[in-house]
Amino acid sequence: MKLTEKPVTNFLDELASNTPAPGGGSVAALSGALGAALVSMVCNLTLGKKAYADVQDESTELLSESEALRQELTNLLEEDVKAYTGYSIAAKMPRGTEEEKAERQVVMQAALKVATDVPLAIAEAAVQVMDLCMPAAEKGNKWAVSDAGVAVLMAEASLRSAALNVLINLGSLKDEEFVADRRAKLDSLLEGKGIMRDEIYDYVASKL
């Protein structure tokens, strides 16, 4: 059974256990998926309501985007576990000879690249969720505006949590070109997002 198909209590039990996966990367993906789900909720509470007849098309499009992101982040939760498992298997490869040590190092470096790109993908999806939160807050059902605020907080938490997982893996990689490329992408994703979060939060708070 997939991790995402288990009850929440089971996921929390596995998270709290002494096994390294699921860990922070999976939590980052879950946080983003929760943010996307909240945007979807705002949309679903807006669709079909006469008071919001003028934003039905926009809400439908917003819902389609948030649901796609929710599914993507749910899949990435599973991918993060697989990525860490792949690295763990590589780390356990034999290293009794110089040849074995060299082979192990090659496989571990490859696995680390995968383990870096998964949380980077989570960060990218989280930013896309953040982009949906202001439209949801401004045009969605006014009784659900606080949910749009929680959505941006979850999405930003997803972004910054994923960033930490990218950074810890970059620190162990020897491919300088790869490291520079992924660090630049991460920096671009993080730029201005604290300001965005605050703007959306302040807008939501002003409506309560």
Of 18-22, 49-53, 96-100, 191-195, least confident by mean pLDDT is: 18-22
**What does the alpha-carbon distance between residue 199 and residue 147 come to, in Å, rounded to a whole number?**
15
Overall CATH class of domain 22-206: mainly alpha
Give the three-class secondary structure for 45: coil
Mean pLDDT along residues 117-137: 98
The enclosing H or E element of 39 equals: helix 24-44
CA distance 12 to 55: 38
Express as a percent the part of the chain with pLDDT over 70: 100
Q: What pLDDT is attached to residue 47?
A: 97
User: Residue length, the chain?
Assistant: 208
| Residue 191: pLDDT over 90 | yes
Flag whether pLDDT at 140 surpasses 80: yes
Task: Name the band, by pLDDT with cuts 50, 70 and 90, for residue 126.
Answer: very high
Look over the chain and give the mean of its residue pLDDT values, rounded to a whole number. Answer: 96
Confidence of residue 5 (pLDDT cuts 50, 70, 90): confident
For the chain, counts of helices (H) and of strands (E): 7, 0
Q: Counting beta carbons within 10 angstroms of the beta carbon of residue 28, is it exposed (0 to 12), middle (13 to 18) or buried (19 or more)?
A: buried
What pLDDT sits at residue 150?
98
